[in-house]
Amino acid sequence: MLSLDLTHPQSPREARSAVPRELRPYLKCERCGLHRFRRYVVIGEGDLPCDVLFIGEAPGRAENLMARPFVGASGRLLRSAIAAALRRSNRSLSPPRMYVTNTVACRPCNSKRGPNREPTEREVRTCLGRLDMVARLARPRRVVLLGKVAEVHCAGRFPGALCLYHPAYIARRGGEGSSEYQRFVRELQDLFKGTPRRKVLRRRRRRI
């Protein structure tokens, strides 16, 4: 499940071992230049299949080191907003199944020590096969696109997706004390209220 508590960090090895078999070939992907400066490929985190699929922009410095999406400052803000929206919608005890990923799976930068940058159109196109595989495994009831990059490149692939601010933008506007954060939480609250939790049927083992 998607952990909303980052005080007990998962190791990169644990994160990579949790990647579904169908997505593991992408852990060694070298189809674009982003592989030159990455430490880890960041596939995603959460439940597959899921009720709500979150798609952000790209891994940042912290995500590149941990092999997990949204674990830096933006991730703490996103997970805080999800937790607040679950409380307000009375869904804390029965939260929807969620999965978080990005438009690209490697940190966009021009050197290992360089700053983060937006992924190029070519880099996003190259990674769409991986994103399509995530979507097929997720079979989400709702899709949330976080930020302009996800909206521009993914809105056409996910008709009816909810487009929200990227948590990094909310952080620049003042974080949890900003009006943008409160609006973000309200949008998620409305989403969770209207998204029933998926029932996952477990296969029974055959007796021999």
- pLDDT mean across residues, the chain: 92
What residue segments make up the domains of the chain, in order of their start? 12-193
Q: Is the pLDDT of residue 144 over 90?
A: yes
Mean pLDDT of 66-82: 95
Which residues share a beta bridge with 55? Answer: 101, 145
Q: From the CA atom positions of the chain, what is the Rg in Å? A: 17
pLDDT exceeds 50 at position 205: no
User: Please, what is the angle between helix 73-88 and helix 179-193, to 10°?
Assistant: 50
| Cα–Cα distance measured from residue 153 to residue 150, given in angstroms and rounded to the nearest whole number | 5
Residue appearing with tokens 């909310």: 170
Domain covering 12-193, topology: Uracil-DNA Glycosylase, subunit E (3.40.470)
In which region does residue 147 sit, left (phi positive, over 0), alpha (psi from -120 to 50) or beta (all else)? left
pLDDT at residue 10, rounded to an integer: 81
* Residue 49 three-state SS: coil
> What are the tens digits of pLDDT across the range 5-14?
655 568 999 9
Mean pLDDT of 172-182: 97
- Give the predicted TM-score (pTM) of the model: 0.92
Q: Does the structure show a pLDDT above 50 at 194? A: yes
Q: For 126-141, write each residue's pLDDT tens digit.
A: 999 999 999 999 999 9
Give yes or no for a contact between 171 and 181, defined as CB atoms under 8 angstroms apart: no
